[in-house]
Amino acid sequence: SSWWGHVEPAPKDPILGVTEAFLADPSPDKVNVGVGAYRDDNGKPVVLECVREAERRIAGTLNMEYLPMGGSVKMIEETLKLAYGEDSEFIKDKRIAAVQALSGTGACRLFADFQKRFLPDSQIYIPIPTWANHHNIWRDARVPQRTLRYYHPESKGLDFASMMDDIRNAPNGSFFLLHACAHNPTGVDPSEEQWREISYQFKVKNHFPFFDMAYQGFASGDPERDAKAIRIFLEDGHPIGCAQSYAKNMGLYGQRIGCLSILCEDEMQAVAVKSQLQQLARPMYSNPPVHGALIVSTILGDTELKNLWLKEVKGMADRIIGMRKALRENLEKLGSPLSWEHITNQIGMFCYSGLTPEQVDRLTSEFHIYMTRNGRISMAGVTTGNIGYLANAIHEVTT
């Protein structure tokens, strides 16, 4: 008899599967627009100059002691300013319970566990589609999931009417997961006006908004602008939750550095909530890793380095916006009878192209172009060098 004989292999992660297939393809023409990580115009991973400089400044100055259970105080202080605003009254009033988290994923998971522990009968509404891991996170936290209609396949834009219906029809006091900006996988965000309506309806229904902000700065190029949805909810007096990540906007993917925050009614409540978040983290990993937190606090705590970071985030966002424009123009120049307006209407790292699974299969088998079968193109994988080839292949499989 075997201890683990009953253990079946877990299903393959669809995104990691795409990368594996790409790596195994010997074709010199191959293109990977599957991964959700930024690449430069040569298709290479990027380490930001502000990060390199922060590492130089840190080098040799550190000991390797544990961080406090809640993580780096300085990193959290700077991180809250990005989400809640430099002069936020909530920060001054110490109303925010915040802990360092294992990037955006860890922040979401900690919140889901907190939700389950203190409101065990609650559910969460999740936009359809969403980052696939959201479903795994709330499933493993044993919080039942409900669907929030979000994407409109015909317009390849927001299904605002259905979204508002779902918000109105949810039981009062429901939890909702919202992407703060640059929705993954669709690249479709509500407009400012729509966010205001959403916030208003949340108020009427007494819903709780949990913002996953994995791409602050990556949508517009300006972190302040990308925090607009959150600021609207704050202005309207909502208690919110927020997951922040430095994976994309500082290129710190493997450092696993992020933050979970919950805006509370007063300082006393925030102290209690923070202590419970720490209590949840303790039996899982005791305390978070130190290196990424130091990089972040070094950059954001120094005016010169922060300005360099802002310039570099804008550089990444601008390259992606430029590639969107170029991809659309290339398709139009090829005489495609289809509308490709959504490529430039959508925002952030991903373009939800509308390509069918069969068309994606053809792109892969005939053109060595790799992406997930839902037609999601990672714009970060598009470069001056491959855009003509990519546009031509898309044209071939769609006409």
- Site residues (CB under 6 A) for ligand PLP? 36, 103-105, 131, 179, 184, 212, 214, 245, 247, 253, 258
Q: Are 182 and 348 in contact (CB under 8 A)?
A: yes
The residue (of 317 and 391) whose beta carbon lies closer to ligand PLP is: 317
89 vs 95, 241, 266, 275, CA distance in Å?
Answer: 9, 16, 12, 22
Tell me, yes or no, if 248 is annotated catalytic. yes
The residue (of 292 and 391) whose beta carbon lies closer to ligand PLP is: 292
Question: Cα torsion for 122, 127, 132, 137, to the nearest 10°?
Answer: -20
Catalytic residue among 166, 212, 226, 340: 212
Between CA 243 and CA 246, with CA 244 as vertex, the angle to 5 degrees is 150
How many residues are there in the chain?
399
Q: Is the peptide bond before 68 cis (omega within 30 degrees of 0)?
A: no
Is residue 349 exposed (0-12), middle (13-18) or buried (19+ Cβ within 10 Å)? buried
Q: Running DSSP on this structure, what letter comes out for residue 36?
A: -
Catalytic residue among 116, 156, 228, 248: 248
The residue (of 136 and 287) whose beta carbon lies closer to ligand PLP is: 136
H or E stretch covering 178: strand 175-179
Tell me, yes or no, if 333 is annotated catalytic. no
The residue (of 156 and 179) whose beta carbon lies closer to ligand PLP is: 179
The residue (of 84 and 131) whose beta carbon lies closer to ligand PLP is: 131
Closest approach of Cβ 184 to ligand PLP, in Å? 4
Q: Which two tokens stand for residue 225?
A: 């602008």
Q: Are 90 and 270 in contact (CB under 8 A)?
A: no
Closest approach of Cβ 127 to ligand PLP, in Å? 10
Categorise residue 101: left if φ over 0, alpha if ψ from -120 to 50, beta otherwise.
beta
Closest approach of Cβ 131 to ligand PLP, in Å? 4
Closest approach of Cβ 389 to ligand PLP, in Å? 26
Q: Which two tokens stand for residue 143?
A: 């919080």
Catalytic residue among 131, 138, 309, 340: 131
Closest approach of Cβ 370 to ligand PLP, in Å? 17
Q: Catalytic residue numbers?
A: 131, 212, 248
